[in-house]
């Protein structure tokens, strides 16, 4: 077993990485312009290429929730939790093919802005408020807390100081530079994240085999913990509530994935900042292929930790300690600094992305509409930066009280956001593809999604939350159809999206790459059914 503490070379690697990211973030955001515009700050001057978009999507997505939380779920549940990643790869195809063309054509900054174009200002402000609350009190807090938990386990940094340190690191370059700093530093972050993650996975498998190699280690995982390789869980499985069997690939997980990848500000904002639609579409496909790889980086180490410890709670408890425990015990000096830099890359890049999108929504949807309609470009950039600071301070204060008592934070995050996602999906999907959908229908969908989700949770406590999301989505769609039918009767809504011929055209390389993702996903599910 390798040394259990950081040595000089680890600290050197780690702090060189921090310095590199800060330098890169500040350098790419430099501008010859005397005045920076809101498009420069919030949409990176619409200059992002496909590889920057794809890398930034993954860096924004893979955070402490996955590196720490999903490894913890891998420890408890197994490979089944990888459905969130592999089904996301399929979802990204839909986003590139059907969603991005509409958003980019509308020339929007934010998701709520699209809702006003399609519906009205009431829907815009309602959803802007929803997203701000979720970003600050769920996303930012969870990333800060789980990241600080890793710092505490590996380096002995007190939780509070870990939270403050991560917040400060993300703030140094992202608040000043905006999306351009975030996106271009994400390219480095993803290289470190994937490289360091693969090294950690390889070393954890090598530890399982007592030095006989990673392939032998994976074979031993299959032999010693075959129950951890079931993608489709039966009703008797202890984790059926979290991953309800065939319902995972036929039901509510589609709602979770479509809402997250299709209508989430800090995801779609990368596509909106693309040079053009082709770059945006290639970027999401690149991200789709990276998503296929993520379970190797985050889930397999969790299973390896379970096999090494034989599930002994006296060694790893709570399960979210699994990934930090592996870094702490099995990654040698020097590489440990790189592996921890990869974990930090996941945490900080997500923080930076969430901060930028929080500031974008507040500035463009609330400040410019309800506080100061005639704000100058300089004022918009200033308010964006100020919003990021305030959001970060609130998240630092509330992170530990909100998440301190949870065993598997990843599952908490999925269930909590699942109260909002059915309404989000209904509003956007019906707004895209059903011309009669009215503003009143969208508003009631936004208002009812959380109360209906709580009612279903109260009336059917044993119903898995993914199934509940699917049922709430269907009910909201039904209500929206009724309300829209009353509002618009036989005519289309005046603000309906015009779906003209050629809007969803994609080049051949996109189509071939999309087919490749589909084939790989099918093979993976057949192998681990």
Q: pLDDT by residue for the chain (529 residues), tens digit each?
A: 333 467 888 888 888 888 888 888 888 877 666 567 888 888 888 889 999 999 999 988 887 667 777 888 899 999 999 999 999 999 999 999 999 999 999 999 999 999 999 999 999 999 999 899 888 988 898 888 878 877 777 777 888 999 999 999 888 878 888 888 888 888 888 888 888 889 889 999 999 998 888 999 999 999 999 999 999 988 888 888 888 888 888 888 999 999 999 999 988 999 999 999 999 999 999 999 999 999 999 999 999 999 999 888 888 887 878 888 888 788 888 788 887 787 787 788 888 888 989 999 999 999 998 898 888 988 999 999 999 999 999 999 998 887 766 655 556 666 677 888 999 999 999 999 999 999 999 999 999 998 999 999 899 888 888 899 999 999 999 999 999 999 988 788 999 999 988 999 999 999 999 999 999 999 999 998 8
Helix axis angle, 277-309 to 83-94, nearest 10°? 170
What is the per-residue DSSP string for 368-434?
A: IIII-TT--HHHHHHHHHHHHHHHHHHHHHHHHHHHTT-S-HHHHHHHHHTTTHHHHHHHHHHHHH-
Closest CA to 79 of 248, 211, 213: 248
Give pTM, 2 decimals.
Answer: 0.91
* Cβ contact 40:385 at 8 Å: no
* Cβ contact 513:285 at 8 Å: yes
Helix axis angle, 465-488 to 252-263, nearest 10°? 70
Give dist(CA 416, CA 237) in Å, integer: 22
Closest CA to 22 of 146, 145, 155, 173: 173
What is the per-residue DSSP string for 54-111?
A: HHHHHHHH-SHIIIIIIHHHHHHT-GGGGHHHHHHHHHHHHIIIIIHHHHHHHT-SSH
* Cβ contact 270:57 at 8 Å: yes
Give dist(CA 242, CA 414) in Å, integer: 9
* H or E segment to which residue 225 belongs: none
Superfamily designation of domain 8-20+42-413+518-527: Sodium/glucose cotransporter (1.20.1730.10)
Give dist(CA 444, CA 432) in Å, integer: 17
* Cβ contact 280:274 at 8 Å: yes
Give dist(CA 527, CA 231) in Å, integer: 9
Instruction: Please report, for the chain, the start and end positions of each structural domain, with discontinuous segments joined by +.
Output: 8-20+42-413+518-527, 418-498
Give dist(CA 266, CA 106) in Å, integer: 18
- Is the peptide bond between 318 and the residue preceding it cis, with omega within 30 degrees of 0? yes
Torsions phi, psi for 48 (to 5 deg): -75, 135
Cβ neighbours for 6, distance < 8 A, ≥ 6 positions apart: 14, 154, 155, 333, 336, 337
């Amino acid at each position: 077993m390798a040394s259990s503490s950081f040595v000089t070379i680890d600290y050197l690697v780690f702090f060189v990485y921090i310095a590199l990211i800060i330098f890169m973030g500040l350098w790419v955001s430099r501008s010859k312009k005397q005045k920076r515009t809101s498009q420069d700050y919030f949409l990176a001057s619409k200059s992002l290429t496909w590889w920057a978009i794809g890398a930034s999507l993954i860096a924004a997505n893979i955070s402490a929730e996955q590196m720490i939380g999903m490894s913890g779920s891998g420890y408890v549940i197994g490979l089944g939790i990888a459905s969130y990643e592999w089904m996301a790869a399929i979802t990204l195809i839909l986003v590139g093919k059907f969603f991005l063309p509409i958003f980019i054509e509308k020339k929007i900054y934010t998701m709520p802005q699209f809702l006003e174009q399609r519906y009205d200002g009431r829907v815009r402000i309602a959803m802007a408020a929803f997203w701000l609350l979720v970003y600050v009190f769920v996303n930012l807090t969870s990333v800060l807390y789980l990241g600080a938990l890793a710092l505490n386990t590996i380096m002995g940094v007190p939780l509070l100081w870990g939270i403050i340190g991560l917040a400060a690191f993300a703030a140094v370059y992202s608040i000043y530079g905006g999306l351009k700093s975030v996106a271009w530093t994400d390219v480095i972050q993803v290289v470190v994240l994937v490289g360091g993650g693969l090294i950690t996975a390889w070393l954890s498998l090598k530890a399982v085999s007592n030095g006989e190699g990673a392939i032998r280690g994976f074979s031993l995982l299959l032999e010693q913990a075959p129950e951890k390789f079931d993608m489709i869980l039966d009703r008797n499985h202890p984790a059926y509530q979290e991953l309800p069997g065939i319902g995972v690939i036929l039901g509510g997980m589609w709602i979770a994935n479509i809402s997250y990848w299709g209508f989430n500000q800090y995801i779609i904002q990368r596509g909106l900042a693309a040079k053009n639609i082709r770059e945006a579409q290639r970027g999401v496909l690149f991200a789709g292929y990276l998503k296929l790889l993520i379970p190797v980086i985050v889930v397999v180490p969790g299973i390896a930790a379970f096999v090494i410890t034989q599930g002994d709670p006296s060694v790893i408890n709570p399960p979210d300690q699994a990934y930090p425990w592996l870094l702490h015990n099995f990654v040698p000096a020097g590489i440990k600094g790189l592996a921890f830099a990869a974990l930090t890359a996941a945490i900080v890049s997500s923080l930076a992305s969430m901060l930028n999108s929080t500031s974008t929504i507040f500035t463009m949807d609330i400040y410019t509409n309800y506080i100061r309609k005639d704000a100058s470009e300089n004022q918009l950039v200033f308010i964006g930066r100020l919003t990021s600071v305030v959001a970060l301070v609130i998240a630092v204060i509330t992170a530990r009280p909100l998440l301190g008592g949870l065993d598997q934070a990843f599952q908490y995050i999925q269930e909590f956001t699942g109260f909002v996602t059915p309404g989000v999906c209904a509003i956007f999907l019906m707004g895209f593809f059903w011309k009669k959908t009215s503003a009143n229908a969208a508003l009631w969908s936004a208002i009812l999604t959380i109360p209906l989700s709580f009612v279903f949770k109260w009336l059917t406590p044993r119903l898995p939350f993914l199934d509940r999301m699917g049922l709430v989505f269907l009910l909201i769609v039904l209500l929206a159809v009724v309300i829209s039918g009353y509002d618009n009767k036989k005519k289309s809504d005046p603000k309906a999206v015009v779906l003209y011929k050629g809007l969803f055209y994609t080049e051949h390389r996109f189509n071939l790459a999309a087919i490749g993702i589909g084939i790989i996903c099918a093979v993976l599910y057949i192998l681990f059914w």
